Structure 1
Amino acid sequence: MIVGKQSILFEENVYIEETACVAGQKESEGPLGKLFDVVVEDAMAGMENWEEAESTLQQLAVDKLLEKWDGKKEDLRYIFAGDLLGQLIATSFGLMQYEIPMFGLYGACSTFGEALSLAAMTVHAGYAGHVIALASSHFASAEKQFRYPLEYGNQRPPASTWTVTGCGAAVIGTEKGEVCIRGITTGKVIDFGVKDSMNMGACMAPAAADVIAVNLEDLQKDVTYYDCIITGDLGAVGKTILMDLLKEKGYDLTGRYTDCGLEIFDAESQDTKAGGSGCGCSAVTMCSYIMKKMKNHSWNRVLFVPTGALLSTVSYNEGKSVPGIAHAVILERKGNRE
């Protein structure tokens, strides 16, 4: 099971048994809009503040997941979940009503990759039959915490990204499914000294490049092993940096690489600058677009790499740089195991 420096290949199939995703109005107007299970047109989701609205996104995602999944809530052993807010308040207030034991996770925008990794490890080890992996973000709650109040109306630079309002959730188990989690490569915290809090792509790209290179080295494969390598939310700026860094390592991703932040929004018509970001960006895109491409046989094997900028208002205001982290998850159609 342990492969190379940082990777695991699971000996038995760990299935993505079902997925569900919820997204906001702006996201529904993008290229993937028709693939979302639920669209919340009211950014407040009928609540009194942005944080409660994000908790509601999580509840809607879990409710839809349980509706779609051929199982019972009582069969779920754990939830691995997280968001971007301090002390994971969107998650703790959003999921407590389900009374399922929960591991709260924080990996910034890489959280869904962390959740899938830990869920798959737990299921494969036999500690649970079925678990939920989940991550969410909300444009307004993230802006309120990390940048400026919306009322301030600050101008966004070209390198900035737009935090996705959305939540993606998946049931991970051993019983059935068209798509498996074949393995994982856990990333390291990597800091290239970037101090621009509005350029998340530059902060995260080095970590993404590192974990992708380690995955290929651990598995002793080249990029053609994957039909697609898709990062979480590097956006247009981070994508260019990533491809340059990997070329220096001897890997050319041309024609096999994209980014969730570039897939979820239309750069020309939606004015999201460099693209989408946030925990919900990769979670929503995986639970809709990636799963569709795999189920219709367009892709048989994907390296899914959610990326996170470990930004804190405390560390940033103290003059620190913004380190990055990324976690790679090998998604494979059932029957394609080598």
Structure 2
Amino acid sequence: MITRTGRYTLLFDQHPMAAGFAAVVGKKEGEGPLARQFDKIFEDTKLGQETWEKAESAMQEQAVHLALDKASISPQQVDYVLAGDLINQCTSSIFGLRSLDIPFLGLFGACSTMALSLGLAGLLVESGAAGTCAAVTSSHFCTAERQFRFPLEYGGQRPPTSQWTATASGCAVITPSTNGGGPQIAGVTFGRMVDMGIKDANNMGAAMAGAASATIVDFLNDTGKKPEDFDMILTGDLGQVGSDLMQQLLSRENVELGTHYADCGLLIYDRQTQDVHAGGSGCGCSAAVVCSYIMNLLKTGGMKNVLFVGTGALMSPMTVQQGESIPGIAHAVWLKSAY
């Protein structure tokens, strides 16, 4: 049963669960602090493919198959796959998942896509409209840079506010929670677009900070929860600039996250030893962190409650070139341990 509480939040009585989850990453991500959490680390950024775009598709396909294998579920048992990425028309998802022969729901939430797909998958399973859904997304540094900024050969200088697009993919297979002790989805707050007036494509954290703040406030107001009710409130991916700005905005609302706060873009890399400037970003960044480190902790009872707030910058190369500002979006998914 689904219960609407407050203005924006949906709570799930049956708590659909992640029966299987997996994360695959590139070489740089495999050199970061979470290396041991990932299911597979690729040393070749092209994964043996002809292009980076084909490599990202292959990475997403591998993440789905690994998650399905861990859940002991075949593709034929999946009712819907909810997927998206950063490339035009969800190219990586379409070409990566076309061989699965599963009804496909293509999503675009920019870097918030993992939270969006998880929330919608939970909604479908909780409502009984689906028995099993796969939520998956990906990003690749080379495909994203080529589309949104400059050709890699250009060698442009990256400003301190810029973030490193993660070469990564994550997948969670969502089923009813009747069997097993996988991480559970307790509720979701689908966010509103918030435009901070940012026009700099190299300052995504600032563009998304307002949306993250708004969604966190909406969730807390709707549910009556406090930050201390959670082991972690996790954004993805604001990086250092966006995280600092979001917490300033929350302070104006008398919300202090304190030590309960973390950001996927700051967890996946070591900013002191890896040249990532303000941190990580990209659809695959939060997907890889959540579908490994976070869900592993929830599965073992290492954490009980996590509020995952996926953040996205809703732009295209055309809108940036035309001087439009960049609206932000953030979706919150309440993840719980079964223990």
Q: TM-score range by the shorter chain?
A: over 0.9
The match for 2:218 among 214, 219, 226 is 214
Q: How does 1:130-145 map to 2 (within 5 A)?
A: 130-145=132-147
User: Shift in Å at residue 285 of structure 1?
Assistant: 0.2
Maintained 8 Å contact 2:236/2:265:
yes
Following superposition, the deviation at residue 220 of structure 1 comes to 1.1
For residue 152 of structure 1, what is the aligned residue in structure 2?
A: 154
Partner of 1:104: 106
CA distance in structure 2 between the aligned counterparts of 1:63 and 1:294, rounded to whole angstroms: 22
Corresponding residue to 1:185 among 183, 189, 192: 189
Q: Distance in 2 between matches of 1:99 and 1:284?
A: 24
Alignment of 1:1-338 (within 5 A): 1-174=3-176, 175-176=178-179, 177-335=181-339
Q: Residue type of the partner of 2:100?
A: Y
* Secondary structure in structure 2 of the residue aligned to 1:16: strand
Amino acid at match of 1:208: A
The alpha carbon displacement at 1:299 in A equals 1.4
* CA distance in 1: counterparts of 2:265 and 2:311, whole angstroms: 11
Distance 2:316 2:69 in 1: 36
Alpha-carbon distance, 1:49 to partner: 1.1
Give the CA deviation at 1:269.
0.5
Give 1:71 shift.
2.2
TM superposition score normalised by structure 1: 0.97
Shift of 1:45: 1.0
Letter in 2 for 1:22: V
User: How far is the alpha carbon of 1:47 from its aligned partner?
Assistant: 1.0
Give CA deviations for 1:85-116 in whole Å, capped at 9, x if unaligned. Answer: 00111111110000000100000000011100
How many pairs does the alignment contain? 335
Distance 1:88 1:179 in 2: 27
Secondary structure of 2:61 counterpart: helix
CA distance in 2, matches of 1:280, 1:247: 29
Q: CA deviation at 1:184?
A: 0.3
1:139 aligned partner, one-letter code: F
> In the alignment, residue 118 of structure 1 is paired with which amino acid?
L
Query: Which SS does the other structure have where 1:178 is aligned?
Result: coil
The CA deviation at 1:296 is 3.3
Counterpart residue type for residue 283 of structure 1: A
Moved over 3 A (4+): none
State the shift of 1:276 in Å. 0.3
Q: What is the percentage of aligned positions where both structures have the same residue? A: 47
Deviation at residue 258 of structure 1 after TM alignment = 0.6
**1:59: how far off?**
1.2
**Deviations 1:177-206 (Å, cap 9, x if unpaired)?**
331100000101110101111010000000
Q: Deviations over 1:237-283 (max 9, x none)?
A: 00100111101101101111010000000001001000000000000
Post-superposition Cα deviations, 1:283-305, rounded to whole Å, max 9, x if no partner, equal: 00001111122233331000001
Cα distance in 2 for residues equivalent to 1:239 and 1:13: 29
Query: Which ranges of structure 2 fall in alignment gaps of 5 or more residues?
Result: none
Q: CA RMSD in A?
A: 0.9
Bigger drift between 218-227 and 94-103 goes to 218-227
Q: What TM-score do the two structures reach when normalised by structure 2?
A: 0.97
Summarize deviations over 1:205-237 as a string: whole Å, max 9, x none: 000000000000000121111111000010000
User: Partner letter of residue 306 of structure 2?
Assistant: V
Amino acid at match of 1:128: A
Deviation at 1:72, TM superposition (A): 2.3
65-74 or 178-187, which moves further after superposition? 65-74
Deviation (angstroms), 1:68: 1.4
- Give the deviation of 1:66 after TM superposition: 2.2
